[in-house]
Amino acid sequence: MEKRLICINCPIGCHLSAKRESDSAKWEINGNRCPRGETYAQNELTDPRRVVTATVACDSAIISRVPVRTSEPLPKRHIDQLLNRLYTMQIKIPVKRGEVLIADVENTGVNVVFSCDCPR
Ligand code: SF4
């Protein structure tokens, strides 16, 4: 089996090829210019994750939404459910940058935190 990916760890965007025998769990990666590409490809093919950014509605008279993000990359299978949850929330300000809005999303150990200070 062979798959092709583009490494997203830096602007170079190496084109990677991943091959594996049907009885092997490990992929053989080629095309990466540095070790980060190998790590990226192995993770992407076995447990793909992304940092999630979004906004949540708030009760401020000045701004309508506050930016949030995950503290670490979240497994992709949980992203849709998290976004649905965030887009139906209404939070009360003030909030501080880094303050946790949702702890331990789906028992992954990943938190959703505020991306900026939002004073009253
Ligand atoms: S493999 Fe290394 S050099 Fe290539 S895009 Fe990924 S991080 Fe950048």
Going by alpha carbons, the residue nearest to atom 4 of ligand 1 is 14
Nearest alpha carbon to residue 68 among 117, 114, 116, 119: 114
**Which residue out of 14, 17, 40, 44 has the highest number of ligand 1 atoms within 8 Å of its CB and is therefore the one to mutate?**
14
Ligand 1: centre distance to CA 67 (Å): 29
Which structure tokens are listed for 117?
Answer: 């200070």
Nearest alpha carbon to residue 118 among 102, 99, 105, 104: 99
Asked whether residue 119 is assigned to any structural domain, the reply reads no
Residue with the larger pLDDT of the pair 1 and 107: 107
Mean pLDDT value of segment 15-20: 96
Give the model's confidence band at 102: pLDDT under 50 very low, under 70 low, under 90 confident, else very high.
very high
Q: Indicate whether 74 pLDDT > 90.
A: yes
The closest-lying atom of ligand 1 relative to the alpha carbon of residue 6 is: 5
> Cα-atom radius of gyration of the chain, to the nearest Å?
18
**Number of Cα atoms under 13 Å in the Cβ half of residue 80:** 1
11 lies in the same domain as 33: yes
For the stretch 24-71, pLDDT in tens is 888 999 999 999 999 999 999 999 999 999 999 999 888 999 999 999
Count of structural domains, the chain? 2
Q: What is the pLDDT of residue 33?
A: 98
Q: Indicate whether 22 pLDDT > 90.
A: no
Asked whether residue 98 is assigned to any structural domain, the reply reads yes
Residue ranges making up the domain that contains 90: 53-114
Going by alpha carbons, the residue nearest to atom 1 of ligand 1 is 37
39 lies in the same domain as 58: no
Q: Indicate whether 110 pLDDT > 90.
A: yes
Output the pTM of the full model.
Answer: 0.80
33 lies in the same domain as 72: no
Q: Indicate whether 119 pLDDT > 90.
A: no
